[in-house]
Amino acid sequence: MNEKFTYSLNEDDYLNYQLFAASKSKNIRKKRLRNRFLPAIFFVVLGLVPRFDFTEIFTQIYILIGILWIFLYPIWDKKLYYNHYKKYIKENYKNNFDKTLELAITENEIYAKDNSTESKTNLQELEEINEVPQAIYFKFKSSHSLILPKNKINVSIDSKQFFKELSKKYSINYNEFSDWEWK
């Protein structure tokens, strides 16, 4: 069985992929967690350190800042990463927007073609397949990925079944993140 898709990628497709990859990166998750709690702990400890002037107002202010940090930082951090990747994509992928791509997946290889390049990759080089509400991402051992946006193609139940069978055949993880969203 073969699956063939013709589609184009826009800025949002690249952005969703970058945000998904960031959300699954151990280093980025650790960094975001550390940045959320370390400053908050610092402010609470600073508030609890005895003061020479013995005023409670400084203690209350520092503890309040620490508590607010825990709740408000994730909102700011989410926007920070979003804007960072948006700028990165505009700068580095602007020439790839709206180019027609052809993707053919056979029992043994993935064939990808656009206006300027062609590639043929053995399916044994595939590391995992990740399905999110917006797309299906094929991640290779070389850290490259292919984006298959669901809103631009018809990903049928047969296609998903084909991808799952390939994942079993080649011992590839097929991960479904049906409720994934950038947080």
**pTM assigned to the model:** 0.87
Question: HSE of 22 in the Cβ direction (CA atoms, 13 Å)?
Answer: 19
**119 and 56 within one domain:** no
Strand 135-140 with 109-113, pairing: unpaired
Reported as a single tens digit per residue, the pLDDT across 52-101 is 665 778 888 888 999 999 999 999 999 999 999 999 999 999 888 989 99
What's 106's domain CATH number? 2.30.29.30
* Domain termination site, one of 69, 94, 119: 94
Q: Is residue 183 part of a domain?
A: no
Domain span holding position 47: 15-94
**168 and 103 within one domain:** yes
